[in-house]
Amino acid sequence: MTDLGVEPLPTPTDYGDFWGAALDEARRHPLRLRCTSVDAGLSAIEVVDVSFAGADGRPVSGWLRLPRHRSAPLPAVVHANGYGAGRLDAIDDLAWSAAGFAHLVVAAHGQGGGSTGHLLEGITTPERSYYRGVFVDAARAVDALRSLDGIDPSRIAVIGNSQGGGIALGVGALVPDLVAVLAQAPFLTHAPAALRRATAGPWLELRAYLAEHPERADRVARTLAYVDGVTSARHASAPGWISAGLDDGVCPVETARSAASAYAGPVSLREWPGAGHEAGGPADVRCALAVLRTRFGSGSGRCG
């Protein structure tokens, strides 16, 4: 098998121009934000079906969850899920809105129902790579939140788990005025190490691809360098929280360590002994909520 080496991928010399062009291209399209309240059977949380224009003007869907009892503009989080998950169900993952935050969970393009293979889409051409569009979609989600009444545009954070952690790091690099970036067991991070050490999950798709097409390794490395979590971390300025399980076979802990080491802003790394890809599970969520309360200036919480 031809691999990508062992050191983190270098930052492309045109990184800023590449992403500046991608965002400018998306923002030439009207946001076309649509919000429709849905009856999710919840008395304390309002659920809104959201769509807006992302990369290339394509529609992006999400769920916006809001605490019903609110008297002031809310701090908000943009949330990306793991590989294949999409936006999940309207009543999934209510912790963030129950804590008093507006919570916009965004579907990665074409994902849902456990779909796979996305990592390989456009993998040899940076301008056509799947995650170029997905990162832009998530950055546009920040624009969407900031355009809504009842949201405090100065208090926006990005969060994500697994694939979503890699997306959160990416948005942290692309959007300069966030208040926090939280990445749990981030995928797309330190690709060379992950390809060597992962024992499950999407990296195995790319490992098989490179085994079949070893002559494409350099082109794959060039594409990944624009979206790798280590590259993103080098350009992230908002305070970061990165967490990882020490026994994670999907996103080995070394990859999270590399992102934390490269992070340009202040960052905390939490490693969970005995944890796999859940990276601490509910205890990690409690820590994330505590971080957000502090960053939003809305109190503090216990990190267990």
Spatial separation of the C-alpha atoms in residues 222 and 15, rounded to whole Å: 11
The residue written with tokens 């076979």 in the block is: 249
The values of phi and psi at residue 285, to 5°, are -65, -40
Instruction: Identify whether 300 is a catalytic site residue.
Output: no
**Length of the chain, in residues:** 304
**Catalytic choice (137, 248, 258, 284):** 248
Indicate which residue of 143, 228, 277, 284 is catalytic.
277
156 Cβ neighbours under 8 A, 6+ residues apart = 75, 76, 77, 78, 142, 145, 146, 178, 179
Collapsing DSSP to helix, strand or coil, 178 comes out as coil
Cβ neighbours of 20 (radius 10 Å) = 12
- For this structure, is 69 an active site residue? no
How far out from the chain centre does Cα 43 lie?
Answer: 29
CB-based contacts of 38: which residues, under 8 Å, 6+ apart? 47, 48, 49, 90
Q: Dihedral sign for Cα 209, 215, 216, 218, please.
A: positive
Token digits of residue 184: 């749990």
Active-site option among 61, 97, 129, 162: 162
The reply to whether 284 belongs to the active site is no
Tokens matching residue 114: 């456990």
Q: How far apart are the C-alpha atoms of 70 and 60, rounded to whole Å? A: 27
Element (H, E) at 285: helix 282-296
* CB-based contacts of 304, cutoff 8 Å, min separation 6: 283, 286, 287
- For the chain, how long is the longest CA-to-CA vector? 59
Annotated catalytic sites, by residue? 162, 248, 277
